[in-house]
Amino acid sequence: MMKQLLSLLPVLFLASCATCWRGGDPLREVELQSLKAASADLHQAKNLKVYHGLAHPQRDAEYYQQQLKTVPNVAFAGFRFHKQPEPASAKLISNVVALYCDPQSHQALASPKTTCSGFHPDYALVWSNGDGQRVLQICYGCHEWKYFGPGGVLHTDINEPAYFDHLMNWLPPKP
């Protein structure tokens, strides 16, 4: 009996991962149109800044509460980030923007994601123009992009090559 239960562990583990980040589903037409609008907006952006998020408010609740009191921070689209932008070269920002604008770096959002402790962005690109502030959030825990702009919100998964081959190298995770 124990041997049979142990043989199920890998299957259960894979099933639990599948609920967090399924991936692989291409964007639907409505998402592709939203991405086109977001990409046009990003290509017009000036003075993009990169901000690093505070700790995860659910997964690292104590540390997050400590950071709120001790780390100068600012809110963008409902999440707290270090107030001081990250040092980021124009090339790095250009690379992230180009990656985001490439439809191949997106997949349809896989929901619900019950094992990720909830969406919480590790990084945000922030800029503004005459119409107000724009935000592109990147969540490493959920492998997701979330764009806030004039047309609303576009929330998609990041495909594996974009995530592992590019973002993790360009904007490495920080404690």
Q: Please report, for the domain that includes residue 94, its CATH number.
A: 3.30.1490
* 27-37 pLDDT, tens digit each: 999 999 999 99
Other C-beta atoms closer than 10 Å to the C-beta of 50 total: 21
| Distance of alpha carbon 121 from alpha carbon 146, whole angstroms | 9
| Distance of alpha carbon 76 from alpha carbon 148, whole angstroms | 10
| Banded model confidence at residue 113, pLDDT cuts 50, 70, 90 | low
Residue 167 phi/psi, 5-degree rounding, is: -55, -45
| Distance of alpha carbon 156 from alpha carbon 103, whole angstroms | 10
Q: Provide CB contacts within 8 A for 54, sequence distance 6+.
A: 64, 67, 68, 71, 73, 79, 80, 81, 82
Residue 58 domain-assigned (yes or no):
yes
Give the rounded percent of residues in the chain with a pLDDT score beyond 70.
83
Whether omega before 112 lies within 30 degrees of 0, making that bond cis, reads yes
Domain count for the chain, please give it: 1
Q: Is 31 helix (H, G, I), strand (E, B) or coil?
A: helix
| Banded model confidence at residue 117, pLDDT cuts 50, 70, 90 | low
* 37-46 pLDDT, tens digit each: 999 999 999 8
Domain residue limits at 166 = 30-170
Confidence check: pLDDT of 60 > 60:
yes
| Banded model confidence at residue 51, pLDDT cuts 50, 70, 90 | very high
Q: What is the mean pLDDT of residues 48-61?
A: 93
Residue 10 domain-assigned (yes or no):
no
Residue 7 domain-assigned (yes or no):
no
Residue 145 domain-assigned (yes or no):
yes
